[in-house]
Structure formats: structure tokens, C-alpha cells
Structure 1
């Protein structure tokens, strides 16, 4: 996350010495560890170096931050979200895209710890989401991302959200929609997260979900077909190709692949009105399509060739228009500087 700090020198002189000293040290620590992108105006850096009893190590770090201001001072104009450190105020608030953080909250919260990114599975999904965010970051030329992956699969999302939000940490979530069709309806898990966020009143948090069923559906069928779990599922890809061709010919909105249950497959239930996805199968004369695997994400993370193809896909305009937009908030929440040795 970007942390931006600028103020009138006449106002900064009125801040309690211990608050200013310890807050400055925390900002320096977060910069050194590469947890966030710390941006402090040149005038403030000069004043802090001159007036606070900082170590030579801390002064050198502030001098480095000062030197980076020309390069990064204007990055907020591109950001979807950032933290603006201010001198006064009694609570964290939102002002447009800015999270307004009174300087004393740096000391009474864990806001400068790594951003927490809640995902369905902190191991497999966490690795994949880092891969996606890293590649988006490179696509946009922003450097690197840094976060701590937290587990929020199944019924654990609400508990995880309460834990991290009560700790006053920057907390974002990327979850599966679990939807079977394109819909404007907010998934239940998203509503629960938003409810917890409102109850606790911590504004440095948000939840997003890609416009597809699960994270596996962000991959193309071609990439999934490269994985070893697909070797005995060639008939599935033939059936999926048949639906894709029909969608293209009829210029249908939405894509079957993005809502296909890759883990379990799907069978038409003729006992009730056909769903959106069943109607497309019916058009192609298909009663059922087998699932491919429940280990697609794990196998992708182990397959360098498939990952290389996915990296190319992520940087394409088509993928960004279909899937990338939901990553704007998580990207800016996890953007960070490199680890500093100064």
C-alpha cells in the first residue's frame, strides 16, 4: 500500500514529540522491510532528520525516502486506494480513494504490518494470487507486491476477517463467487465480509471476486489442457470446444468456461427449468460434462510451461478486460517498495 505523508512544518512542530518520533520510526521500519511504498515529502524528511533524535541509520533511510520523492510523489494520481497520513483526527476515515490515517493510529494499530490478502486457500490459491498480482504489477511497471496470505476458505472467511480487522491490519480479500452464471447478485460471503467490516468500522479493507465461478476459471481451457490432470480428459475439452464454438457463432454474452465447474463437472437436471449453463449444454446436445480435477491450481503452480503461458495471458488486453479489473484494489493494497539495506 502507498503511505503518503506531507504537512505544513508549522503544524508538525505542534505534534507530541514521542508520537512523532515513534511514528517516524514505524514508517522507516515498514520502508526497510519492504512492506509498503512509503512516500514522505522532501520538506518533511528534511525537518525530521534535523529535529528528531534519530539514529544515523534512520537518518540515512529518510534521506533515501527523500530522494525517491521525485519519482514516486505523484503515483497517487494512478492509485485506486492509498493511505494518507495526517497530523490530526480521532478516527480512520475514507475520503474518495484515500484512507485518512491520523498519525497516532500508526502507533495504536498494525496498519504498517504487511497487507493481509485473504484467499480461499492460503497455500495453493495464495501462490497463484501472488503470481497474478506480480504479473499485473510488471504489466503496469509498478515493481513488486508484498502481502501475507490468510486462509478464508469455506466458513472461515468471517472469522479471519474479524481477526485481522480487530488487529487493525490492512485486509483485502479475493474470493470465489461460486456463481453458476453471470449475475449482479452479491455472493453471500462478500455480504458477510462487508457486514463485519461495517460492524468493526475498519476502513482499510475490502473484498473482491472475479467475474467467474472460481479462481481456476481465470485460466483459459488451453492452459488447463496443458496440465497432467487433463491427459485423460480430452473428451471434456472436445465438449467444451463445441460450446465455445456455438457461443462464438451465436455471439452470446458471457462464456460457459468461466462458470463451468472444473472440479466436479455438471449434468443437466431435467426435473426443473434449465439454468443458464444448462441451456448452453442443451443447445449443443450435451447431457453432462465431466469435471477435470480438484487439483488444477496446485498442478498449475508446479508447471512452469503452463505458468509461462498464463503470464502471457495476464498481460493481454483481453484478460485484463474480462478478469483484471477486479484486481485493481488488491494490487494497490499490496504494492510495495523493495527491501532496503540502508
Structure 2
């Protein structure tokens, strides 16, 4: 009797949909890029200083933290999850690092290195805990990360005694304001994370399986892959990027505040969704996330230059997010057809 094998077709991922996926991805990202170019053209015409080199540098600096958080958020949304805790985790990681960086008796290099390690470790731990709880009990990530949002914020306030920590070494502050041929070094750090995430998602088995989990989790499980640990890893990466964002935040502002990062999780989610990653998981790219972060940053900066109030800027940004979600709905319907 011929041996019967139980095979499960691998889910549609960047590596398994061939040229059609690549073409659609290029067209999709090109559409987002055209929207970004349209915004740049609009603000270039209707504002005087938008294309000023100093303003361009300012935009790159302003989007850095959101871009770093959005890179990690992309991993979570690709598997059909969401992480509402990243802003609070960033604040907690910053406070932990801030406490360390102000300790006496250490050399400048050693204390900065220790602070960075602690910030990344704090973010890693929070993301790992989110992933373990969400995956083990198969609970909605929305609820679990909402709980972590409060835990991390409370921990940040407790560790810092609700006080802002400041007086960091000059070398740390210098890193936050450094430029390389006019490009902020902190933005280059964020760009390096984007490239690393792109490689992981598009050129590794791990990345392909994250897409697969978002498309059809059961198929990936039946194929023999440890879905539990892949989902945990996605949340852990998201927490890790929150720790990196904390370092950039501290270097830029030279403070560590326990109330930092309020609302940052919404901006990160907005960048991912505007960039075309589906809220239902399985579709999207980190390049789209990069473009989405740029759209949010350019929109915010341009509206300020036009002279709109903060309330109007929030309303317009909200409209853009809603439109992006509606477009995602129609993209999903088109994909099913």
C-alpha cells in the first residue's frame, strides 16, 4: 500500500505568491507613495518653508519614534493582533534607563551602555509577557495589551516617583541631535530597523510564517510549525522596538518622563494601517509602514505650517485614518475575489 502523507499547502506569503504578489505589492506601495508625494506637493505650494532643509530635517526627526514603534507594530498586526501598550512600555523603559543613567560612580560610556541595555530589556520583557499571555490562553490581544498599558504606565510612575528624570551625560544628548550629511542619526537608526524588518519578513522562514499565521493560522499549525512561539516572537519584537524607541526619546529630549508616550500606540497603529497592512493580518509590508509614518509626519508638519489649530490637526489625522481603514476593507474584498 502506498504510504499516505498528510500535506498542508503553505499559506500565501511573499515567497509563495510569486510574481503576482510582487506586482501587487509594488503597485500598492506606489499608490501610498503617490499619496505622500501629493501631500508634499500640496504643502510645498501652500506653505513657504515646507521644503526648507531645516524643516525636512525636523520632519525626519519627528517621525523617528513613531516609525520605530510602527516597525514593531507591523509584526503584531501581520499576525492579526494589536498592541496598545507600546507607548506606556516606552515610558517604562525610558524611566528604567533614566534611573540607571543618573547613577553615580560609572564612566560615561559604561553608564550609557547599561541604560540602553536596560531599556531594551524592559521593552523585551513587556512584549514577551504580552505574547505569552495572549498566545497561551488564546485571548484577544486588544484586552491583554490594554492591561499592559496600565501596568507599564503605573510601573513608570512608581519607579520614578512620578518625577521626570533629567541631567543625562552630554554624549547621550549629542547622539540625539547628531546629523549625517543633514540627516538625523536617530532617523538612520529607524531606517536601519526598517531594512532589518524587511529582510526578516521577506527573506526568512520566520517572516513568511508570520504572513501565513495572519492568513490561515490553522493551516500553519497543521503544517507542523510552532504557531505559539511565532506569535510570542511577534509581540516580543514589538516590545523590543518600544525599548529602542525609549532610547531615542531620551537622547532627543534629554529626559525620561513617566507620562511620555501617551497616544503613541495610536500613531504607530495609524502608520501601519495607512501603510496598507491589513488589520485582519496576513497582508502588508514594512515599506508601507515607512510610507505611512511619513504621511503622518508630513501631514502633521504641513498642517502646523498652514496655521491650523491642534484640534483641527487631530480631526484631519483622524479622517485620514478612517479613510485608510475603509480602503483596507475594499482591498480585502478585492483580494477575496
Q: TM-score with structure 2 length normalisation?
A: 0.23
Which structure has more strand as a fraction of its residues?
Answer: 1
Structure with greater contact order relative to length (CA < 8 Å, sep ≥ 6):
2
Which structure has more helix as a fraction of its residues?
Answer: 2
Q: TM-score with structure 1 length normalisation?
A: 0.23
**If you compute each CA radius of gyration, which structure gives the higher value, 1 or 2?**
1
